[in-house]
Amino acid sequence: MSRKIIKQVGIFLISIKLLRVILRKITGSATFLSQKTKQKVIEKLESLAPEEIIKFYLKDLGIEFYYPNKSIIGLRACEFGYWNYYNTLLKFLSNPRTIVEVGSNIGIDTIFMSKKLKPKNKIIAFEPCIYYRIILKKNIAKNDIRNIKVYPYFVSSENNKKIKIYENLSSASAIQELSEFFPPYRSEICNTITLDYFFTKKHQINSLDLIKIDTDGWDQHVIEGSKKIISRFHPFLLIEFSGYALKKASFSNFTLARLLNKLGYRFFILMKDKKLNIITGYKALLRLLDINTTSDVFAIHESKEFILNNYKRGQKKTI
pLDDT digits (tens, 9 = 90+) for 124-146: 999 999 999 999 999 999 999 99
User: Range with the lowest mean pLDDT among 42-51, 131-140, 275-284?
Assistant: 42-51
Domain spans, the chain: 1-50, 82-318
The rounded distance, in Å, linking the Cα atoms of 313 and 301 is 19
Predicted pLDDT of residue 316: 53
**Higher pLDDT, residue 145 or 38:** 145
Burial of 250 (0-12, 13-18, 19+ CB in 10 A): exposed
Class at the top of the CATH hierarchy for domain 82-318: alpha beta
89 pLDDT higher than 60: yes
pLDDT digits (tens, 9 = 90+) for 288-304: 998 888 889 999 999 99
pLDDT tier, 318 (very low <50, low <70, confident <90, very high otherwise) = very low
Residue 181 to residues 73, 74, 95: CA-CA distances in angstroms?
14, 17, 40
Q: Identify whether the C-beta of residue 302 lies closer than 8 Å to the C-beta of residue 268.
A: no
**If you average pLDDT over residues 156-172, what whole number do you get?**
90
Helix (H, G, I), strand (E, B) or coil at 126: strand
Averaged pLDDT score across all residues of the chain:
86
165 pLDDT higher than 90: yes
Q: Identify whether the C-beta of residue 8 lies closer than 8 Å to the C-beta of residue 48.
A: no
User: Range with the lowest mean pLDDT among 2-16, 216-230, 251-265?
Assistant: 2-16
pLDDT tier, 178 (very low <50, low <70, confident <90, very high otherwise) = low
7 pLDDT higher than 60: no
Burial of 137 (0-12, 13-18, 19+ CB in 10 A): middle
Predicted pLDDT of residue 319: 40
Predicted pLDDT of residue 273: 67
Predicted pLDDT of residue 122: 92
pLDDT tier, 10 (very low <50, low <70, confident <90, very high otherwise) = low
Predicted pLDDT of residue 12: 56
**If you average pLDDT over residues 230-252, what whole number do you get?**
93
pLDDT digits (tens, 9 = 90+) for 206-228: 999 999 999 988 999 999 999 99
The rounded distance, in Å, linking the Cα atoms of 126 and 158 is 15
241 pLDDT higher than 70: yes
Helix (H, G, I), strand (E, B) or coil at 143: coil
The rounded distance, in Å, linking the Cα atoms of 216 and 249 is 10
Q: Identify whether the C-beta of residue 142 lies closer than 8 Å to the C-beta of residue 107.
A: no
287 pLDDT higher than 90: yes
